[in-house]
Amino acid sequence: MKYETNIGLEAHLQLSTKSKAFCSCSTEFGNAPNTQACPVCLGLPGSLPVLNREVPASAIKVALALNCTIADRMKFDRKNYYYPDLPKNFQISQYDKPLARNGFLEIQAEKVVKKIRIKRVHLEEDAGKLFHKEGYSLIDYNRAGTPLLEIVTEPDISSPEEAYTYLTFLKSLLRYLDVSDCNMEEGSLRCDANISLKKKEASGLGIKTELKNMNSFKGVRNALDYEVKRQSAILEEGAEIIQETRLWDADKGLTTSMRSKEEAHDYRYFPEPDLTPFVIDKEVSERIKTDIPELPRAREVRFVSQYHIPEYDASVLTQEKKTADFFEKAVEIYNNPKTISNWIMSDISAVLNERGISIDKVRLSAANLAKMARMLDEGAISTKIAKAILIDMIDKGEAPDVLVREKGLSQISDAGELEGMIALVLKENEKTVKDYKSGKKNALTFLVGQVMKASRGKANPKMVNEILKSKLK
């Protein structure tokens, strides 16, 4: 393609503090409308905001993890605009002195590592939610006043796919920090984008379009994909892009113009007089810094070098902190990283993904997974048995050895017992034995299968193989 794409993303993250940013109402999601609303978050006349001290702590944690410089002072501004979900018709936000600036997030896709620069990180309050009915609208203010962190990148992202990768890495980082649920469906992580195209040889940036109303990471990617096509077509015709804000329509798969540059809001920002600015204590920032755990990228690199697992495994295992913690705990108990990684990435993940939950939400313990891996390596159980007991390990939290005993599933590795079974199978399948001896090597697989069937899956397959081969010589 002869055009270069420049994308910047604005992520809005709901901080999962217990109470709202400027009052003591709960931030819990999903309760009956307007049950978490007080005079302050309803913006009733005479009410005043008071900053919840949990909020700057969480925000500083994120900013530090994004390698930002933290401002010396915390200062809030008012962003003035009228909308029925905004009870005061202004939003408490940060304008000219954001909480933090000049950071970066390292991302990796297909072996390519790239730093996406973070322009600014600032705090603001969320609005309520509107429900449009036939001829009227309803407002739920439960969300109004929930703390939001806006994370704005420089236009460093060069493709819709890279935007998707950035969001995946950002989400992973944020979940490590334990500051937000990052749930796009519940709206705890939202994202707007701006995109511009220019000829490869042209300097500077092209005319940008802002995109809103994307409800998932895929939506962000699809909207950007659409825009790349739309804007290339315009440029191809020799026409100019109009600077505007466009809305993504996920159902129709296209964007439509919302407002042009001329219609843009004048937010009339000015310092919030009800919240006195205060100095951000350097010591406090330092203390928060020590609270930051090892972050996903660093952990991924360490997993490869420490456990000698493939990069792919390391990146999957470290995406969620809880998964990575689980893996490390299991490996510490029984040192076979690859077997443990395989089980986490395949069978266990399949169950978790199907249920849409994380590994800490099931009863499977790292110790039991480690024990299962040891039993496999020692030949006490077959892969088949392991698969059979896994679901009970996950749901009941039972130990693998207990399950094997209860279900009578322990592997038969006694050569004498196996020989007896094999003799019987050979007798019943004389034709197959003849086939094998005449050169049909795959007849062996059939005979192994017959022995396994006779043992109801408990025979040690490796031993069966060896004994059969020697008997058939």
Sites of contact with another protein (CB under 8 A): 39, 42-51, 78, 80, 82, 84, 87-90, 139, 266, 268-270, 273-276
Phi, psi of 196 (to 5 degrees): -140, 150
Half-sphere exposure of 245 (CA within 13 A, CB side): 11
Q: How far is the CB of 84 from another protein (least distance, A)?
A: 5
Any bridge partners for residue 211, and if so which?
193, 246
Q: How far is the CB of 224 from another protein (least distance, A)?
A: 29
| Other Cβ atoms closer than 10 A to 346 | 10
Q: How far is the CB of 283 from another protein (least distance, A)?
A: 21
| Other Cβ atoms closer than 10 A to 54 | 15
Q: Which is nearer to another protein, 219 or 277 (CB)?
A: 277
Does residue 212 contact residue 358 with C-beta atoms inside 8 Å? Answer: no
Q: What is the 3-state secondary structure (H, E, C) of 345-402?
A: HHHHHHHHHHHCCCHHHCCCCHHHHHHHHHHHHCCCCCHHHHHHHHHHHHHHCCCHHH
Q: Which is nearer to another protein, 204 or 273 (CB)?
A: 273
Q: How far is the CB of 51 from another protein (least distance, A)?
A: 7
Q: Which is nearer to another protein, 91 or 319 (CB)?
A: 91
Q: How far is the CB of 37 from another protein (least distance, A)?
A: 10
Nearest Cα to Cα of residue 404 among 415, 416, 393, 414:
393
Chain-centroid distance of CA 384 in Å reads 31
Q: Which is nearer to another protein, 82 or 356 (CB)?
A: 82
Q: Which is nearer to another protein, 251 or 266 (CB)?
A: 266
Reduce the DSSP state of residue 284 to 3 states and report it.
helix
- What distance in Å separates the CA atoms of residue 98 and residue 94, rounded to the nearest whole number? 5
Q: Which is nearer to another protein, 39 or 379 (CB)?
A: 39
Q: Which is nearer to another protein, 43 or 400 (CB)?
A: 43
Q: How far is the CB of 281 from another protein (least distance, A)?
A: 17
Q: How far is the CB of 129 from another protein (least distance, A)?
A: 14
- What distance in Å separates the CA atoms of residue 255 and residue 263, rounded to the nearest whole number? 18
Q: How far is the CB of 22 from another protein (least distance, A)?
A: 9
CA 335, 337, 339, 340 torsion: positive or negative?
positive
E strands, 134-215, are 136-140, 147-153, 189-199, 209-214
| Other Cβ atoms closer than 10 A to 433 | 19
Q: Which is nearer to another protein, 90 or 334 (CB)?
A: 90
Reduce the DSSP state of residue 119 to 3 states and report it.
strand
Say which residue the tokens 């099931």 belong to: 362
71-84 core/surface letters (b: 16 or more CB in 10 A; e: else): beebbbbbbbeeee
Quote the DSSP letter at residue 71: P
Q: Which is nearer to another protein, 81 or 312 (CB)?
A: 81
Q: Which is nearer to another protein, 84 or 379 (CB)?
A: 84
Q: How far is the CB of 215 from another protein (least distance, A)?
A: 23
Q: Which is nearer to another protein, 95 or 446 (CB)?
A: 95
Q: How far is the CB of 136 from another protein (least distance, A)?
A: 11
Amino acid at 245: T
Q: How far is the CB of 44 from another protein (least distance, A)?
A: 7
Q: Which is nearer to another protein, 256 or 276 (CB)?
A: 276
Amino acid at 261: K
Does residue 285 contact residue 317 with C-beta atoms inside 8 Å? Answer: no
DSSP 10-66: EEEEE---SB-SSSS-B--SSPSTTSS--TTTTT-TT------THHHHHHHHHHHHT
Q: How far is the CB of 240 from another protein (least distance, A)?
A: 24
